[in-house]
Structure 1
Amino acid sequence: MYAYIDVLGFVASVISFVLWWPQAALVWRCRKHREQLRGVSTSSQVLLLMNACLWGAYAVGTGSLWVGAPGLVNGPLAVITIVLLRQSRRGPQEVRGSTADKVAR
């Protein structure tokens, strides 16, 4: 009926996906280099996840596929990015009984 509305929704969905992909790719590439991830905000990823969930709920409520489509990609990207950021910011775990620990005693 209104094919141009579907095209508009599709284009908006693609733009929403492309918007967040570079940051997720950066976090994936630099996941073992914590100093390179200092500028990546965990809170923005949490907001992205909340946004994806809310738009998904709205899409289900209204029956509009394209409104919720970006959340199917951006939601998991946000979760993976949050996990990688937390792991990188935790840093190496100190091992009890290590050589450095024994020398200090």
Structure 2
Amino acid sequence: MYAHIDVLGFIASVISFVLWWPQAALVWRCRQHGEQLRGVSTPSQVLLLMNACLWGAYAVGTGSLWVGAPGLVNGPLAIVTIVLLRRSRRLPEKARGSTADKVAR
């Protein structure tokens, strides 16, 4: 393979690595405050995870490292983001339930 093609693949991979970091950082910072995460879409994170898996499989099949490399970062980021989103969105429900229980007593 030509060196300029490898450089192109490297640059594309770096951009893909960085693409989801801001959203993952936001979810991490606001993980205890589900109301602040209303704009973060769980289905988009599931699609990101599926995309990472498919590109990873394609990279293995074709032997192209740079195609699958972003999935090594973005896949785990998507999993952590999905888990944190689900936890943070359950917290307000628990708090509301406990408040309602206290009022009912």
TM-score of the pair, normalised by structure 1: 0.89
Q: CA deviation at 1:33?
A: 0.9
Summarize deviations over 1:37-65 as a string: whole Å, max 9, x none. Answer: 00000000000000000000000000000
Match of 2:87, as an amino acid? Q
Structure 1 Cα separation of the partners of residues 99 and 13 of structure 2? 53
2:50 is the counterpart of 1:50: yes
SS at match of 1:91: helix
Q: Percent identity?
A: 89
Partner of 2:85: 85
User: Which has a greater percent of helix?
Assistant: 2
Match of 1:61, as an amino acid? G
User: What 5-or-longer segments of structure 1 have no aligned partner?
Assistant: none
Q: CA deviation at 1:101?
A: 3.6
Map residues 59-74 of structure 1 onto 2, 5 A cutoff: 59-74=59-74
Runs of 4+ in structure 1 displaced over 2 angstroms? Answer: 98-105
* Equivalent residues, number: 103
Residues 32/6 of structure 1: CA separation in 2 closer, same or farther (3 Å cut): same
Partner of 2:17: 17
Q: CA deviation at 1:17?
A: 1.1
TM-score of the pair, normalised by structure 2: 0.89
Structure 1 Cα separation of the partners of residues 9 and 103 of structure 2? 63
Summarize deviations over 1:53-81 as a string: whole Å, max 9, x none. Answer: 00000000000000000000000000000
Q: Which moved more, 1:13-22 or 1:85-94?
A: 85-94
SS at match of 2:31: coil
Output the aligned Cα RMSD. Answer: 2.0
